[in-house]
Structures are given as structure tokens and as C-alpha cells.
Amino acid sequence: MKSVRNYLFILIAVVALATIALIVVVYMSGKDPLLDFLSPQPAEVQVYVQSPPNVEAGEEFSMIVTVQNDGNDYVQVDEIRIPESLLQLAVVKNVFPGSMEQEFYGDEAGFKIGYLVEPDSRKEFEISMMPWQHGDISDFLSVVLDEEVIKATFRLEILPAVAIVPTDSPIPSATASPTITPIPPSLTPTPVTIPFSAVVRLTAKIKYSSYFRDAWGGSGTIISPDGLILTNAHLIDPGPQFEADAFVIGLSLDPSAPPIDRYYAEPVIIDKDLDIAVLRISSDIRFKKVNPQDLNLPYVPLGDSDSLQLGDSLTILGYPNIGGDTITLTRGDVGGFTSQRKFGERAWIKTSASISGGTSGGLAMDEDGYLVAIPTQLGYGGKEDVVDCRIVTDTNLDGRINQNDMCIPTGGFINALRPIKLALPLIDAAKIALLTTLTPSPTP
């Protein structure tokens, strides 16, 4: 019995000494076993998101996603997923390193990465974005690592874009009644033979997940140096199935080169009966609001469509679908006039000029360089509602253009023009509407 007790005492002593030795070794290594027991062990991979606290709409910014690999094995970053809350307010311009190839997961869009992070190292991924609406976002990004998803929170405030005001211009008070300075006679343009720089390419954009997609397009004409654009109503509102999120204005600086997207425009007046609309340039291509008085754009003066006679020469400028990416000019004569009960004897001007889809909304100019009519999509002005309706865009957003998409009125061969006389009341109404919006509301 005594020997058993001795053996038991020796065993306890050996275990105690081994435990003490282990504790000494652990504490000498700088680790606290008690704290390790009470607190969770750190993960081998950490994800951090660096984002500016706030940005201005139209101000390009970057989010930096850092993947820290504290393990002993390589880690593959398969995907970075961006939440819908952010994609509703900003579009993704680039992911580096990575690609713009995407997968959609309901409330997230995943961008393919395919990058290995070495053991005991870190890698930064830059997501460049362009905000286009203001809002306050508090959400998280998801990083997919070998089928494991790690989430990292971020907070971002997108501020409204500030209008660009000249430093020498007085800032109007909230109760002041601003006045619109008329254009001095010295700024009245001298009619030019080919005013290609005043004829714009209009592109309707639809926001699809994280970016803008081209939906449909046509032409327009700048009719004032402060950015009023005359075009067709069907380009702005083609029907209940289509609704554009933005309209991009492209300017041709060189007739041999494609137009350059420079501005965004907003509808002011739309008349579907006449198929005429008036837009105004509201911001530059980076969504920075512009001061209309500072634009000083090239424009075409308005002429007198009632003075046109049978056989008079007409010049047509626009961006037809069959004319490539550059501006296209065709010429013809006044071939006659078509009446319409609602709009009188000269509701339409028939012409022998060849006009095709894409030229809709463009310029019909007389021999003196004045805008006298607008090409439309209604044929010769007879009973046909649509001359040509083609499947030209992915209307159901399935990534393919096929027979499952709806057709868009593109114009086809058009030989009818709306006289500028019918557009004058709409242009005047647009100017009044803009004057109203520029007038501050009185302080209660």
C-alpha cells in the first residue's frame, strides 16, 4: 500500500513538473495561454477595405481591398463581390488586378479575380468607381477565398455634385430673383456651310447592375450656346417598355473621327405627337454640373421653314446606323409637303434626301446654313406609324441580342421632316421651364 502511494506521489510530481516546464516555455515565447483560451483564435486570412469617407458625384474614386494571409499556405482570391447598395449609386470602371467579368448573386455583383496570395504576405486590389448619384452607404464587401466568403465592412457618403460657378460671378441669395441675360447680338453665329460640330450623337444609357449599357441612339442639334438640344421625342421616350437612365451627348471635333462623349443631358420638353423633344446639357461626362453660361457651344441658328419652296436644296447631317461611327452628310431637294389636320398644311416636308435610322433628330439645313426641319421616324408623313422597327439592343438584359428582344423604331429609309416652325413653341416652352427652375423659391 505504501509503495502504491509512493508511485502515485512520484507520478503527480512528474506531471506537475512537466506542466510547470510547459508553462515556462509558453510564457517565454510571449504567448498568454489564459488569454488564448478565453479569446477566439485569430483567423489565418484577414480582409480590410479602405474607402474615402466621402466623395462627390462625378468624382472618380478607388476602394482598396487588402487580403492579409497569415497562414502557411497559398490562398486564392477567386472573387470580390460588391453590394447592390453601392452599385445603385456608382458604376465600376476597373478592377485591378482582376477583370470586369461578372457573376450576379441577387444583391451582389461578383468580379472575377483569380489571384494567389503567398503565405505571410498581403495583396491589395483596387476597385475604381464613378459615382453618379448621391447617398450614404454602410455595407460590406465580400471576398471569396477557395469557396470561403469573408466580409469586410465599409462606409461611404456620396455628396451631390456642386455646380461650377465662375469665381467672378456673384452668388445669388435665396430670396433674390435672378435674371437671364439675353445673348448679345455679337454672339449670333454666322451661318456656316457644314456645322458638323453642332450636330451631336445622342446615346441612351440603361444602368445594368454595376455599369451603364448603351441602349439606343440617334442624333440631335445644338440650338443655343448654353446647351439646348433639339431632337426627336421617340429617342427620349420610345415607349412604356423602355426607360433610359441617362443620355450622353457626343461632339464631333473632326468630321473624319468618331464623336467624343462630352456631356450628359436631361429632357426638358417632350411632344410625342410632333415627335420633337428639347434637351439641356446638365453635366459633363464626369457628372460635374455645368454652368450653362460658360458652355459657349457651337450651334445652328433657327430658320424659316415656311419660306421653303418645291425644289429647294436641303442638307441632312446626323449619325445614321449605316454610316459608321462618324457624322454623315446627305443632300436632296424639297419634294413636297404633307398636311395633317392637327398641324396644318405643312405638317411634313418631303425630301429626296436619303435619311436612315440614327439620323432621327438630326439637322435638316437650308442653303444658307439655317436649321429648317428635323428628320423623324414616321416615313413620308402618311398613315404608317413606324417605317422600320429592328432588334438592335438587348432589351430583356439577358446578355444576347436575338429574337427574344423587342424591336426599337430605328427609322429605316426616312424621307419626311418636321418643319422647324412646329418646334418653335416647344423651344420657347423649354426656355421658360429652365427659367422657372433657375428661379430660387422664396424663403418661408
The set of residues, in sequence order, having a beta carbon less than 8 Å from that of 89 and lying 6+ positions away, is: 131, 132, 133, 134, 135, 137, 158
At residue 394, the pLDDT reads 63
Architecture of domain 45-159: Sandwich (2.60)
Q: So what CATH class is 189-438?
A: mainly beta
Q: DSSP character for 26?
A: H
Amino acid found at 293: Q
Distance CA 303, CA 369 (A): 8
Q: Long-range CB contacts (< 8 A, 24+ apart) of 179-186?
A: 180/435, 180/438, 181/293, 183/224, 183/225
Distance CA 335, CA 416 (A): 9
At residue 42, the pLDDT reads 44
Taking the mean position of all CA atoms in its chain, how far away is CA 16? Answer: 72
What does the chain come to in residues? 444
At residue 312, the pLDDT reads 92
Taking the CA atoms of the chain, what radius of gyration do you get in angstroms? 33
- In this structure, the strands spanning 371-375 and 389-390 are unpaired
Show me where the domains of the chain are located. Answer: 45-159, 189-438
Q: Which residue has the cell 405638317?
A: 347
At residue 213, the pLDDT reads 81
User: Is 227 in contact with 302 (CB distance < 8 Å)?
Assistant: no
At residue 294, the pLDDT reads 87
* One pLDDT digit (tens) per residue for the chain, 444 residues: 556 566 666 777 767 777 776 666 555 655 555 544 444 444 588 999 998 888 888 788 899 999 999 888 888 999 999 998 888 888 888 888 888 777 888 788 888 888 888 898 989 999 988 887 788 898 989 999 877 899 999 998 888 865 444 434 333 333 333 333 343 443 444 444 688 899 999 998 887 766 778 888 889 999 999 999 999 988 888 877 778 888 999 999 888 888 988 999 999 999 988 889 999 999 888 888 888 888 889 999 999 999 999 999 999 999 886 656 888 898 889 988 988 888 888 888 988 887 776 788 889 999 988 999 998 854 555 544 444 556 656 666 666 777 776 665 544 444 788 999 999 999 988 888 877 665 444 444
Asked if domains 45-159 and 189-438 share a fold, the reply is: no
At residue 41, the pLDDT reads 40
At residue 278, the pLDDT reads 94
Q: What is the dihedral of CA 147, 148, 153, 156, to 10 degrees?
A: -10
